[in-house]
Chains A and B, each alone.
Chain A
């Protein structure tokens, strides 16, 4: 059996944040919101519109702005959230912030949870022998991405590092899916250039890997292919022009979410912006099926060679060119 799973509500469009957040008051009757973000975004006033909207909706709120995907920071957030006792969590930030927020959510709903243990038992989304602790009894979870991106706003993954032990925990379960994702390009409009480039390539990696993944299905294929296409078409301009090309920003925001939706339904794979082509080549070599899929993907994107190998090479070349355009040094 396979599945297709996405957050209950995925809302999008430039300017949609206040419209979506309105539901917290009018539909969901929430009273207390715990905002999770990082200090950079906080100090730059990025959460101000969220706070203003909550004020209008008469929802009490507080902000935790030291969100990092580390065990220490997550525990700090958990301690604060337990004092405040919110009925809704709003994570506003990049993948790190949203991942940290998901971990805080787990600790809020289940103070006894242990990440090492959870990571051991729940790291492969396709193998479920037991049940992940249920989330949502205490708080509704809203994710607002500010980078395009890891797609964490639509995935069941949370990657937390124990800096002391130098270990990374990957927790994967659909309980971690945010209830609501708000993909509003106003929040990714001012991503710094470097972040734009790196995040864009990460999103591309998610899309392509999801297409070739063993659990890829027609349900996810459409999302993966369209995401990849939009990233090739719009990342260069988003990188060069940033807020001066709001269309490119919006396309990248949606592409990142779509790549995330695809990626959320296949097995998790660690990627970073500089080694994506190595991963793809390695996958293609060890798995014939994956190779065929990469070729299909290349054809859809318009990279057509004289035969399958040539087509595959053109795909790799295209990715490398995109990396160059975005200032990413290949490993």
Chain B
């Protein structure tokens, strides 16, 4: 049993450890010729010391009583790490030469990201076959806890429990992937279509068109995005009615237009760097049409930064949709959606301190929130890796 340390002890220990490592390391390094010990800086020593003490603190928390969520987090991190590693190893040994090479150049985080994105995609596409029940199906047992153990307030029929009006949470999570992720994907595609075509056009033609487009974009970007989206949603529903399908359509269009401003700025900047290249001049002098210049000369060279931006932008769109749904004007019930699920179940978070069933109850809203967080992290892992490759940085 390891006692956990108070803050005073903790910080004193870090400093003492750092000093010992710095001076002792210098002695040992000089004697034995280990360059890493000999050339260590004070800050480096402090970092190592901090790491060791933090690990000790973590371990004492993990092996002590309570701290259920911390233990789950540790399990999660270790589990995902192992999964990512296994997937990476799989990719290195199975597949064509090109994919094997790709996996060799990939860090574990990117491999995990790709695996998670693939999983989300499969779940979203085949939701109808995977989900045990329908997304709007209501059962008589409401408020069942996750875990499937009748002794703990669960039921084996509903592994992740049911919500406050008796809908199966597992099924709603699975359908939520289809609705939330699918709509976010469509919205991002639309935003990119608008942003890229206008951005490249501004870069190629320049002059007055560039000025007009850029100032419009500046104007749209000067208003905080979420508030602006809320405002536009209100106007749209007031003018065109608020049937359920329509509201979703408005949301897609509004978010696409607002997000296309960011894409416009990036594609214009990337395009600007390409239109000054000699090969672009050669194509212009050949007498090529505007469409050829944009899609054959600029687009292939802008692919890498735009793909990375697509990943990031997808996360933002996805979070905006979840936020709007959380606020009640995004994806409309009975369609399952993660943002709405977090909002509907949010009051259960207050049960977390209660013993035994407390953490289980509190995990109800956390599951949908976790689904959102996990996808965002996964996409960012992959995007980081792609940006790293595109920028040509080496380890």
Q: Do A and B bind each other?
A: no
